[in-house]
């Protein structure tokens, strides 16, 4: 059994990790931390876990985690970088769901996240945990930086096009819509039901922290700098991300040919599903599951491709992808603990 620790067990990614790991046959949940809820039973805070999780929240201190084989950080940005080094030094693997180790450029990270990075040396060592791109490196990683939710949906959507060199990469557009759970479990006015229900809006159009992460990832694939306009939106639902991606073809290509490239590229991927031509993607079809579903269109036979890419932001966009990373690190079946089917309706 893999002894697992979770730091930051009271956010939505934390409780989602618990929901997945509680049913993972190879895992034993050893420690779950919460500064605010120390001493409380986990299932008192999350009654959906009653009968499945029998642990009590402990302080987020190193000594609480030393019995673990691997520690997940489901914390706000800036926490994992304070503890990762000590854990790694003890031979404990680290899977960070926050943004601390996602950007390779420290200056850029400090600029976007507005704080000093306390473990810049670990950045190079961290493996960006998008299995569809970095599986080999992940197998031997000690420290994994899990991708953000938007970056997962957008990168998986553009990936085959960029690998194949089919599109202009200087003016990509990603118009992405997220459910409100992406904003986290924090007492804030802006995500009250009265504020977000029955309404739709864009936010952070001038610049969102996931922008440099996406361009870093896409540029690595393209082996040159890509240009991206990224507009995130808040949609009145709880879970789900729908990325609508726009790219111009470099030369006329039949849509079924492009579609074949996608099918080929993701044929061996358990969690990326290219839908039949003519089909649209719908976030409900991946809600609660670790799948990404992708649909392709070339409207009016023009030169602009439209790619629809949907995930559950808390699963493939966070906790599910983190467990997938753990499975890869430990040589387990990549889908272990991740076979839940999306909840429809």
Q: Which is nearer to its own copies, 120 or 207 (CB)?
A: 207
Q: Is residue 254 part of the contact set for its own copies (CB under 8 A)?
A: no
Subset of 265-304 contacting its own copies (CB under 8 A): 273, 275, 278-289, 291, 293, 295, 297, 299-300, 302-304
Q: Is residue 140 part of the contact set for its own copies (CB under 8 A)?
A: no
Phi/psi region, residue 198 (left: phi>0; alpha: psi -120 to 50; beta: rest), is: left
State the minimum distance, in angstroms, from the CB of residue 120 to its own copies: 25
Pair 255, 201: CB distance under 8 Å: no
Count of residues that interact with its own copies, criterion CB under 8 A: 90
State the minimum distance, in angstroms, from the CB of residue 57 to its own copies: 16
- Among residues 68, 146, 149, 292, which one is catalytic? 149
| CA distances, 6 to each of 19, 27, 30, 326, 327 (Å) | 12, 12, 8, 13, 16
Tokens of 69: 């084989």
Binding segment (CB under 8 A) for its own copies, from list 25-33, 127-135, 244-252, 320-328:
244-252
CA distance 122 to 81: 8
Which helix or strand (DSSP H or E) is residue 126 part of?
none
Binding segment (CB under 8 A) for its own copies, from list 118-126, 137-145, 306-314, 322-330:
306-314
Q: Is residue 263 part of the contact set for its own copies (CB under 8 A)?
A: no
Q: Which of 5, 7, 19, 326 binds its own copies (CB under 8 A)?
A: 19
Binding segment (CB under 8 A) for its own copies, from list 85-93, 123-131, 135-143, 188-196:
188-196
Q: How many CB atoms lie within 10 A of CB 150?
A: 26
- x/- contact string, 104-133, with its own copies (CB under 8 A)? ------------------------------
Q: Which is nearer to its own copies, 33 or 244 (CB)?
A: 244
In the sheet that holds 2-7, the strands lie side by side as 27-33, 2-7, 70-73, 93-96, 143-145, 127-128
Is 149 an active-site residue? Answer: yes
Subset of 192-221 contacting its own copies (CB under 8 A): 192-203, 205-207, 211
Q: Which is nearer to its own copies, 43 or 61 (CB)?
A: 43
Q: Is residue 177 part of the contact set for its own copies (CB under 8 A)?
A: yes
CA distance 117 to 121: 10
Q: Which is nearer to its own copies, 109 or 297 (CB)?
A: 297
Q: What one-character DSSP code corresponds to residue 167?
A: B
Under 8 Å CB-to-CB from 290, ≥6 apart: which residues?
Answer: 271, 312, 315, 316, 320, 321, 323, 324, 335, 338, 340
Q: Which of 238, 249, 250, 260 binds its own copies (CB under 8 A)?
A: 238
Q: Which is nearer to its own copies, 86 or 229 (CB)?
A: 229
CA-wise closest residue to 120 among 140, 105, 142: 105
Q: Is residue 171 part of the contact set for its own copies (CB under 8 A)?
A: yes
CA distance 249 to 298: 10
Subset of 49-108 contacting its own copies (CB under 8 A): 49-52
Q: Is residue 227 part of the contact set for its own copies (CB under 8 A)?
A: yes
State the minimum distance, in angstroms, from the CB of residue 265 to its own copies: 17
State the minimum distance, in angstroms, from the CB of residue 143 to its own copies: 28
Which helix or strand (DSSP H or E) is residue 176 part of?
strand 172-178
Beta bridge partners of 95: 72, 144
Q: Which of 3, 104, 233, 263 binds its own copies (CB under 8 A)?
A: 233
Handedness of CA 29, 318, 96, 332 (dihedral sign): positive
Active site members? 149
């Amino acid at each position: 059994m893999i002894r697992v620790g979770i730091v930051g067990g009271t956010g939505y990614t934390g409780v989602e990790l618990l929901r997945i790991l509680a049913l993972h046959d190879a895992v034993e949940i050893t420690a779950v931390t919460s500064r605010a809820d120390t001493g409380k039973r986990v299932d008192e805070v999350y009654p959906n876990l009653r009968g499945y999780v029998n642990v009590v929240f402990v302080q987020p201190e190193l000594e609480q985690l030393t019995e673990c084989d691997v520690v997940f950080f489901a914390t706000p940005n800036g926490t994992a970088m304070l503890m990762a080094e000590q854990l790694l030094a003890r031979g404990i693997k680290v899977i960070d769901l926050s943004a601390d180790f996602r950007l390779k450029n420290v200056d850029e990270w400090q600029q976007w996240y507005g704080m000093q990075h306390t473990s810049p040396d670990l950045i190079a060592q961290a493996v960006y945990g998008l299995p569809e791109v970095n599986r080999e490196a992940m197998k031997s990683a000690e420290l994994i930086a899990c991708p953000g939710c938007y970056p997962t949906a957008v990168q998986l959507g553009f990936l085959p096009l960029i690998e194949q060199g089919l599109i202009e990469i200087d003016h990509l557009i990603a118009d992405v819509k997220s459910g409100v759970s992406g904003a986290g479990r924090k007492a804030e006015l802006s995500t009250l039901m009265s504020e977000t229900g029955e309404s739709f809006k864009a936010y952070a159009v001038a610049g969102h922290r996931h922008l440099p992460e996406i361009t870093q990832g896409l540029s690595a694939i393209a082996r040159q700098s890509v240009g991206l306009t990224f507009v995130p939106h808040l949609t009145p639902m709880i879970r789900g991300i729908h990325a609508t991606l726009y790219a111009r073809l470099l030369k006329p290509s039949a849509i079924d040919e492009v579609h074949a490239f996608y099918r080929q590229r993701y044929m061996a991927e358990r969690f990326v599903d290219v839908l039949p031509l003519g089909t649209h993607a719908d976030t409900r079809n991946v809600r609660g599951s670790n799948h990404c579903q992708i649909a392709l269109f070339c409207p009016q036979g023009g030169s602009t491709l439209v790619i629809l890419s949907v995930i559950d932001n808390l699963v493939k966009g966070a906790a599910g992808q983190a467990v997938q990373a753990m499975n890869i690190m430990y040589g387990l079946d990549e889908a272990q603990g991740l076979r839940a089917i999306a909840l429809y309706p």
